[in-house]
Amino acid sequence: MNGAEALIESLVRSGVEVCFNNPGTSEMHLVAAIDKVKGMRPILGLFEGVVTGAADGYGRMAGKPACTLLHLGPGLGNGLANLHNAKKAGTPVVNVVGEHATYHRKYDAPLNSDIRSLAGPMSHWVETIEHAGDAARMAARAVAEARRGPGRIATLILPADSAWNELAAPAPIAALEPAPSPEVTPAQIDAVAEALRKAKNAVILLGADGVRAEALAAAGRVAAASGARLYCETFNKRIERGAGRVAAKTVPYFAEMALDELQGTDLLVLAGARVPVAFFAYPGKASVLVPEGCEARELARADEDVTGALTALADALGAPARPNATQELKRPDLPASSDFNAGTIGQAIGALLPEGAIVADEGCTSGMWSQIFTAGAPPHDWLQLTGGSIGCGVPLATGAAVACPDRKVVCLQGDGGAMYTIQALWTQAREGLDVVTILFANRSYAILNIELGRVGVSAPGPKAKSMLDIGNPTIDFTAMAKAMGVNAVRCTDNAGFAKAFKAALAEKGPHLIEVVI
Amino acid sequence: MNGAEALIESLVRSGVEVCFNNPGTSEMHLVAAIDKVKGMRPILGLFEGVVTGAADGYGRMAGKPACTLLHLGPGLGNGLANLHNAKKAGTPVVNVVGEHATYHRKYDAPLNSDIRSLAGPMSHWVETIEHAGDAARMAARAVAEARRGPGRIATLILPADSAWNELAAPAPIAALEPAPSPEVTPAQIDAVAEALRKAKNAVILLGADGVRAEALAAAGRVAAASGARLYCETFNKRIERGAGRVAAKTVPYFAEMALDELQGTDLLVLAGARVPVAFFAYPGKASVLVPEGCEARELARADEDVTGALTALADALGAPARPNATQELKRPDLPASSDFNAGTIGQAIGALLPEGAIVADEGCTSGMWSQIFTAGAPPHDWLQLTGGSIGCGVPLATGAAVACPDRKVVCLQGDGGAMYTIQALWTQAREGLDVVTILFANRSYAILNIELGRVGVSAPGPKAKSMLDIGNPTIDFTAMAKAMGVNAVRCTDNAGFAKAFKAALAEKGPHLIEVVI
């Protein structure tokens, strides 16, 4: 058994079943090991941003890590943006990054780079396997590190000789239990309960696992007992929402709107959430989005047992056993309007979204309507752009579909972000994944046109406009999807969209619907 | 004047004319500044790998830097792979990376990351502009740093408030002269001359600017005087080759072939080149590709005056004023074979390549034939994959075409690498760039199939094969190019290819020819 085989075997024993990959020469022994070891499913991405984004989507839905296989520093580099999103989400991911043989590193061959320095900012844990004999143990450690808290990014760098060298002795291959999430102390629970009793206008801000169904139910009990309102962060890893679940409002994206929304709040209880801050700074506007005179108090950090803390808080408040208010099943009708825009499309999605759907949302300016109109749809999961790095949607949908083959995945994708990682459609086609991508073609970086105005440029000239407009030339996403083996259709009115969406939902496998808005 | 305007104005005064960009919210003041300041041309890429690869192609051909405009850590991350290639080439590039406002960084907003750590491995020089008043001075410094030696990567991180704050005093905007390349001492020249006189079987290994026409002519004089053979490195920034120029053989890619080729050499003179090392390590094979008993001796490092050193060496050897041997004009005929493969396509390219063409070569296993068959074509430039990170070809061609609008650019692109940065075709269409992309569709990572065998896997199973095969489903590159506004045609025989290539050469603007081999 060589180091590569020990590593893959150890990952499998630790519960890792899927390897999203794009290997190169330095990873050929890993390719051979995946071929040989039973229980590891390789899924090729044609670009590393697809690989890491799919690992994010998989981890969010499977609740355990997939591994990635990346080619040296540049391959990792290509995957960093979606690792950034995964890190901000708190998704468990194990990266396996190939490296030159230990003795070859010093020659600074063309593909040589400082992988550790590149990996650091987007990883919680990075280690290099200097000897084949360490591969199994370190792989088990990486999985345990990835599974700490809500999920973390663990990166293993594997020099080629640590992969190909034979082990001197049988590898000690055994899974390690991740460190359990710290529990919140009773004293802390009581203090928050006391503050809630005193507050006149409290908000519970939910983040991390605080937006999963069980935690939301506990938060609903807290709300019933205390009168506090429930909010979730602007971008979330995985919201379990829809009929029968407790709903939380979303903190608005724009800083001034967020402050307006929270105005008058005198207590902000953080349950898996962080003190809300502006996504970006703007001249003369606040960075911290806590209204003046409002106390922010931490119930549980994201890496603590958020659900347990909310449940304990509800009990401490003498809350009823169930929340007062859960979302009723209430779908909109299909739109009758002759207008065709993100709003009417969202309405149609609300009318048709199937039970158990997983929505991967990188719709940006176009996606928010869909979120509003699906509030009363049958129960479903909503995955968001947690790190703000566009190019996440299509890969995220890809990974979610791998994790949950029996559930329909709907991807809301803006055209700007789509062009970052459009290659993920090919992986959907190859793997026959059950994903419907709704491609919002507004032919601009629409958010940036808004932002340019917000920084005070009221009349941009042609050069500025050219940097925000992606409509010249027009990109034919329908043709592009077909070119990668995905069924695709373009819609320009509500009747056409409703028909296309119904058809795509009715048929297994990947589909793309380009909506020209 | 605010910091963003001072920065752009200073870049323009330092000779930077083009900004390849993909901005985000934190760079809106830079967008406004580019809009306002005369002399900076913005060119949008739909993905940052396009942006940095185009900056590489531009810098190689213009001999001065373009700037990039990238959105925070993730935007830089997306551009790292092609910055890696540019760094290994020694291409001058100035990166401008947006960052959160200085006072906003500490809140760790969703897009926050350690940009400096990400930039370090792929930059020679990294600085953060902490105050608007420093923007002009530091921009001039960045250009001077980028222009040192053959070219370097200089990265400026610009916090948003350093962009939007008004300058307290007029900015001291003046270009800085880059430090001149160190000259090689007469003693070093004499020592190499002496060694060459004693050697029985010497090789001059050329790298960096040593493969430009003037340096090659000097090397040809050295060869005439000493009998040394001329080689260049396997992958080069920019070879000036073809009829009338001195030709150098290429060190083969595979380590054992390189050692075979150099067998019997007793002196290896390094002129801008490094001691040759294997691209990858393999079990039991050498890392350093200098034959036993051969002395390696440095004439000039890549950052020294390589051309001057070769000229001085020729003079010290009493060489004739001109090289004995220059390449004669000698094109192959168009292929008559009924076979259609990388060889016959290379032959047709050799028959038709126009004078002054720029070839951006990421053909990998398919491109080498083209290189062989164009040896005697009219003078042209050849740009290669210097850092080994695929996804370089189409962006490189894009940037070269921006730098040299009056020259025809021919891009040799393998299908595997094409899928990394195919979005560059859109930029070619938008800018009307004169590029003919020849897309070699062998529907596999062909080099990896070879490499898998080389590491000892003789009979890969279906899982291994699936990680190297990109033919299932087949990618329709013709449709994909058209979807981004580029004329495209698919060829499956020699007559069809010759006709399509002639037609594409005859018409200005971007074309793609998919050759199914």
Retrieve residue A290's tokens. 């806590």
- Please, what's the b/e burial string for B394-413 (b: 16 or more CB within 10 A of its CB; e: otherwise)? bbbbbbbbbbbeebbbbbbb
For residue A240, give the nearest of A104, A428, A63, A422 by alpha carbon.
Answer: A63
Which of A28, A464, A479 minimises the CB distance to B457?
A28
Instruction: Find chain A residues with C-beta within 8 A of B457's C-beta.
Output: 28, 31-32, 35
Whether A376 contacts chain B with CB within 8 A = no
pLDDT for B173: 79
Q: Tell me: do B200 and B152 sit in the same domain.
A: no
- Residue A225: pLDDT band (50, 70, 90) is very high
Residue at A337 is within a domain: no
pLDDT for A457: 78
Distance CA B18, CA B44 (A): 11
Cβ within 8 Å, pair A287-B75: no
Q: Tell me: do A111 and A232 sit in the same domain.
A: no
Comparing alpha-carbon positions, the chain A residue that sits nearest to B87 is A110
Q: How many CA atoms lie within 13 A of A391 on its CB side?
A: 29
Instruction: Find chain B residues with C-beta within 8 A of A114's C-beta.
Output: 120-121
Q: Tell me: do B387 and B480 sit in the same domain.
A: yes
Q: Which domain holds residue A450?
A: 342-516
pLDDT for A451: 87
Distance CA B494, CA B489 (A): 14
- ipTM score: 0.97
Whether B509 contacts chain A with CB within 8 A = no
Comparing alpha-carbon positions, the chain B residue that sits nearest to A49 is B78
Residue at A172 is within a domain: no
Q: Tell me: do B213 and B158 sit in the same domain.
A: no
At which of A301, A316, A331 does a domain end?
A316
Q: What is the dihedral angle through the alpha carbons of A301, A306, A310, A311, rounded to the nearest 10 degrees?
A: -150
pLDDT reading at A47 higher than 90: yes
Whether A47 contacts chain B with CB within 8 A = yes
Residue at B354 is within a domain: yes
How far does the CA of residue B325 sit from the closest CA of chain A (Å)? 31
Q: Tell me: do B118 and B267 sit in the same domain.
A: no
pLDDT for B425: 98
Whether B103 contacts chain A with CB within 8 A = yes
Comparing alpha-carbon positions, the chain A residue that sits nearest to B447 is A25
Distance CA B63, CA A450 (A): 37
Q: pLDDT tens-digit profile of A234-269?
A: 999 999 999 999 999 999 999 999 999 999 999 999
Cβ within 8 Å, pair A484-B466: no
pLDDT for B201: 98
Secondary structure of chain A: what % helix, strand, coil (to 5)?
40, 20, 40
Residue at B407 is within a domain: yes
Interface of B with A in 294-353 (CB under 8 A): none
Domain at A201, CATH number = 3.40.50.1220
- Residue A359: pLDDT band (50, 70, 90) is very high
pTM of the model: 0.98
Q: Tell me: do A511 and A362 sit in the same domain.
A: yes
Retrieve residue B33's tokens. 């500044």
Could you report the average pLDDT of every consecutive run of 10 residues in chain B (517 residues)? Answer: 97 98 96 96 98 98 98 98 98 98 97 98 98 97 96 98 93 83 94 98 98 98 98 98 98 94 97 97 94 97 97 98 96 96 98 98 92 98 97 98 98 97 98 98 88 83 93 96 98 98 98 97
Cβ within 8 Å, pair B35-A120: no
Helix, strand or coil for residue A174?
coil
Cβ within 8 Å, pair A74-B88: no
Residue at A336 is within a domain: no
Residue at B299 is within a domain: yes
Instruction: Find chain A residues with C-beta within 8 A of B449's C-beta.
Output: none
Retrieve residue B76's tokens. 């830089």
Interface of A with B in 461-480 (CB under 8 A): 461-464, 466-468, 470, 472-477, 479-480
Q: Tell me: do A297 and A395 sit in the same domain.
A: no
Whether B20 contacts chain A with CB within 8 A = no
Q: pLDDT tens-digit profile of A103-162?
A: 999 999 999 999 999 999 999 999 999 999 999 999 999 999 999 999 999 999 999 999
Q: pLDDT tens-digit profile of A482-494?
A: 999 999 999 999 9
Interface of B with A in 106-165 (CB under 8 A): 107-111, 113-115, 117-118, 120-122, 160-161, 164
Q: How many domains does chain B have?
A: 3
For residue B120, give the nearest of A77, A114, A155, A84 by alpha carbon.
Answer: A114
pLDDT reading at A456 higher than 80: no
Whether B105 contacts chain A with CB within 8 A = no
Q: Tell me: do B217 and B299 sit in the same domain.
A: yes
- Strand ranges inside A179-314, DSSP E: 202-206, 229-232, 239-241, 249-250, 267-271, 295-300
- As a whole number, the mean pLDDT across chain A is 96
At which of B300, B316, B332 does a domain end?
B316
pLDDT for B16: 98
pLDDT for A297: 97
What percent of chain A is predicted at pLDDT more than 90? 92
How far does the CA of residue A318 sit from the closest CA of chain B (Å)? 35
Q: Tell me: do B509 and B385 sit in the same domain.
A: yes
**How many CB atoms lie under 10 A from the CB of residue B376?**
16
Comparing alpha-carbon positions, the chain A residue that sits nearest to B98 is A280
**How many CB atoms lie under 10 A from the CB of residue B27?**
30
At which of B274, B300, B316 does a domain end?
B316
Whether B387 contacts chain A with CB within 8 A = yes
Which of A31, A110, A470 minimises the CB distance to B386?
A110
Residue at B333 is within a domain: no
pLDDT for A447: 86
Residue type, B485: G
Domain at A470, CATH number = 3.40.50.970
Q: Tell me: do B370 and B476 sit in the same domain.
A: yes
Q: pLDDT tens-digit profile of A159-198?
A: 999 999 999 988 777 889 888 888 899 999 999 999 999 9
**In the block, which residue shows the tokens 């799919």?**
A54
Q: Tell me: do B207 and B145 sit in the same domain.
A: no
Comparing alpha-carbon positions, the chain A residue that sits nearest to B74 is A81
Contact A68, A21 (CB under 8 A): yes
Residues 6+ apart with CB under 8 A from A264: A201, A291
Which of A81, A118, A462 minimises the CB distance to B74?
A81
Instruction: Find chain A residues with C-beta within 8 A of B387's C-beta.
Output: 74, 110-111
Q: Tell me: do B478 and B350 sit in the same domain.
A: yes
Residue at A175 is within a domain: no
Retrieve residue A179's tokens. 């460190």
Distance CA B288, CA A130 (A): 21
For residue B91, give the nearest of B43, B153, B177 by alpha carbon.
Answer: B153
Distance CA A142, CA A155 (A): 7
How far does the CA of residue A109 sit from the closest CA of chain B (Å)? 6
Instruction: Find chain B residues with C-beta within 8 A of A47's C-beta.
Output: 391, 419-420
Q: pLDDT tens-digit profile of A435-446?
A: 999 999 998 888
Q: What angle do CA A414, A417, A422 make, to 5 degrees?
A: 100
**Polymer length in residues for chain A:** 517
Q: How many CA atoms lie within 13 A of B412 on its CB side?
A: 28
